[in-house]
Homo-oligomer: A and B are copies of this chain.
């Protein structure tokens, strides 16, 4: 029940509970993230923060985003077009499973993704061209290794 309450706490309270120093910049950044209805990138957040706190620096934004992420207060998405990996186009559709420890990538077939595509397309009136499913976790090797330690 502690975690359910988190969303209703003020930014200050949340930070205080996490044993982090409550600075004006840090609270502001977390508030802005909570208030926003859109997803923000670091620069969006920086520009918004400057409206209330003109001397805030971009490094502070980055450092705090990392902190919030570590604390599980925010989620990160990869919408943009940077640093890709490429593969020759395969004849069959497949999805990806990544080990977050060793970076191993497993490809798996996912016939259900086609059903998804239809359902979601109908529901939101989208003409959907691509479905990407990406799962992250620990592979058996890395799990054994960390069990041992």
Residues on A lying within 8 angstroms of B by beta carbon are: 4, 7, 30, 33-34, 36, 38-42, 45, 65, 68-69, 72-91, 96-100, 105-106, 108, 110, 112-113, 116-117, 120-121, 123-140, 143
**Docked complex Cα distance between A89 and B76 (Å):** 9
Q: At the interface, is chain A mostly helix, strand, loop or mixed?
A: mixed
Taking a contact as CB atoms under 8 Å apart, the answer to whether B127 and A136 are in contact is no
Taking CB as reference atom, which chain B residue is nearest A132? B134
Taking a contact as CB atoms under 8 Å apart, the answer to whether A126 and B99 are in contact is yes
- Copies of this chain, complex-wide, total 2
Taking a contact as CB atoms under 8 Å apart, the answer to whether A126 and B137 are in contact is yes
Taking a contact as CB atoms under 8 Å apart, the answer to whether A33 and B82 are in contact is no
**Docked complex Cα distance between A148 and B91 (Å):** 33
Least distance between A107 CB and chain B CB atoms (Å): 9
Across the interface, which residues of B come within 8 angstroms of A126, CB to CB? 97, 99, 106, 135, 137-140
Taking a contact as CB atoms under 8 Å apart, the answer to whether A40 and B85 are in contact is yes
**Docked complex Cα distance between A85 and B91 (Å):** 31
- The one of B41, B72, B125 in contact with A83, judged by C-beta atoms closer than 8 angstroms, is B41
- Identify 10 residue pairs between A and B in the complex whose beta-carbon atoms are under 8 Å apart, listed by A's number: A39-B86, A41-B85, A69-B86, A73-B88, A76-B86, A121-B135, A126-B137, A126-B138, A130-B135, A131-B133
**Docked complex Cα distance between A37 and B105 (Å):** 11
**Docked complex Cα distance between A74 and B106 (Å):** 18
Across the interface, which residues of B come within 8 angstroms of A75, CB to CB? 86-90
With contact pairs A86-B75, A88-B73 given, residues A140 and B125 touching in the complex (Cβ less than 8 Å) = yes
